Structures are given as structure tokens and as C-alpha cells.
Amino acid sequence: MNQTNILNHIGNTPLIEISVLSPNPRVRIFAKLEGQNPSGSIKDRIAKRMILDAESEGLLSSGDTIIEASTGNTALALALVAKQRGYKLKSVVSTRTTPGMGELLLSHGVDVIWCEPRTGMKSAIDLAKQLAKENDWFTPCQFENRSNIRAHYESTGPEILETLPNVDTLIAGIGTGGTLMGVGGFLRAHNPAVKIIGVEPKMGEALQGLRNLDEGYIPPLLDLDFLDGRFLVDSKNAFECSRDILEKTGISAGISAGATLYCAQRLADRMSSGNIVAIFADGGWKYLMSSPWREAAASALSDPDEVAWW
């Protein structure tokens, strides 16, 4: 492996015990720190896998244009891979995305196409597909691409078991469904009793990278029957847990990490003992413009639910 190629440093992120945040001394909580990937999120894994698979299938060649619908992290990850592999990148992004994300994408050379979220994320997905067809561009479509699941089945899942052979519960956000299906599938292949829990925003709340399935769009990759449960978290609790992570562990994690921790704490209360793995999908640096760690969630923004936080 060429150690000087940044794409070869995607994955192998730390799995860290954060049981100081567990309300139950008999339940250990571990966090998979995906913010340690080169572009700062778990999406590096799927961006690399989707593009390399497309190349092997003859769907991409040097100089081609890629277009993808994203709330931000996937576009950043694709920007990294596209630069390394010689592609141009356009991203359809909701106007409700995290403050500062548009500027961040532009700084990475992404051509941002803004989209009003009339039907949530589906509006952006449909527009990306339409533009891809009209202009002969390639769209990976992370919500439908099986390479998304493959990336996690072949990397994230094995990494977790290598560090922690006994996993009782996996908690991850419901975004594309790829993390839950890929990591969960690998863990369950080794332990059929492992519990797989998806975290989603409460109805009407928009949280960066995650979606409430009751609002109409269920990602094609996600098999709801595969999950043992779905856990709803509001913006306020996600904010507060994000700050707790930083204050009590020194780890800067994103708002979705706060949501998964909140779920982990509630489940730990109900368990007699065991090991919980929570996926911390990205780092906290992208959210500094909104300062959720400095102020109470209620006063950080006049209306936090007007922004897609996770």
C-alpha cells in the first residue's frame, strides 16, 4: 500500500471507550471516531468505494463530472476522492444545510447547486439524477448504491470487531442506511444476537445527515426489518450530548454523535450489562460557526430546527 496516497488513510479510525458518559457502570460505551477520516467524516469510506467500483465497472474515466445530492459530508468526501482520481464534482445541497457548509464545499472546489427542500432530501436526489441524465454526468447516488453497504461491511465492521470482539448493541444514525446495513450486517454475521439500533430526528426536525423516515423518504438501501429499533432524538438533546462529549472526554464530535450518545445512554439505563458501540459519524469542527458547545441549545439559535444539524 502506498502510504503517501491520502486515499489509503481512509478508515482504521479509533474505537474509544467513553464509559465516563455511561449512566450504568455495568454498561460500557464505545465510540467509533469517524471524524478522524481525512475529510472529517465516515463518508470518506463510501466515497472511495463508490468511485473505485464505478471505475472498475467502466462508468467513470479521467475528466468526467460527478454529481451527487448531499447534506455536506458526502460532498466533502467526494471532493477528496475526485481530486485524487481526476474528476470534477458538483453537489446538489439543500438550503437548510448546516451554516457554513456551502462555503466549506466551495473552498474544496465543489460546484454547489442549491436546492429548496420541498420534499426533503428527495428533492436534491431527484435534481441530481435529472442533471446527470441531461448532461451525461455520473451520479453515485449514495442512497441506492450497494457500494455504500459494501464499504462498511468490508472495513468499518471488521475494524470494530478487531478492537472489541464482544459487541452487544450497535447504534448509528439513519442517513442513507449504509452504515447500519453494512456494519450491522458484518456484526450480525459474527453474532446473530447483536442489537442494531437506528437513530433519527423527531418528526419535523432537520438534523445534519440523518432523516426521519416517517416524513416520506425511506432510503432504498435500508431494510427496516433488519433493525431492532429506531430511536428518536430532538435537536436540543443532540446539542447537549455533543457538548458533553467534548467537556468530559476532550473529543470534538458532530451533532449526530450527540444524538447517538443520547440513544446509547437511554439504552444503557435499560441494560443489565454489556457493550454498546456508537458511531460518531463526523467531527465537531464543521459546526463551530453555530457554537452549540458554548451556549445552551435553546439560546444558540432562535430556531435550531430550521437548520439540518445531523
What does the alpha-carbon distance between residue 45 and residue 156 come to, in Å, rounded to a whole number?
A: 8
Q: Which long-range contacts (CB under 8 A, 24 or more apart) does 189-195 make?
A: 190/161, 191/166, 191/167, 193/168, 194/167, 194/168, 194/169, 194/170, 195/168, 195/169, 195/170, 195/228, 195/229
What does the alpha-carbon distance between residue 168 and residue 165 come to, in Å, rounded to a whole number?
A: 10
Catalytic residue among 41, 70, 256, 290: 256
- The reply to whether 256 belongs to the active site is yes
Catalytic residue among 22, 41, 43, 195: 43
- The reply to whether 273 belongs to the active site is no
8 Å CB contact between 31 and 24: no
Q: What angle do CA 212, 181, 35 make, to 5 degrees?
A: 75
8 Å CB contact between 278 and 257: yes
Q: How far apart are the first and last CA of the chain?
A: 34
Catalytic positions, written as ranges: 43, 256
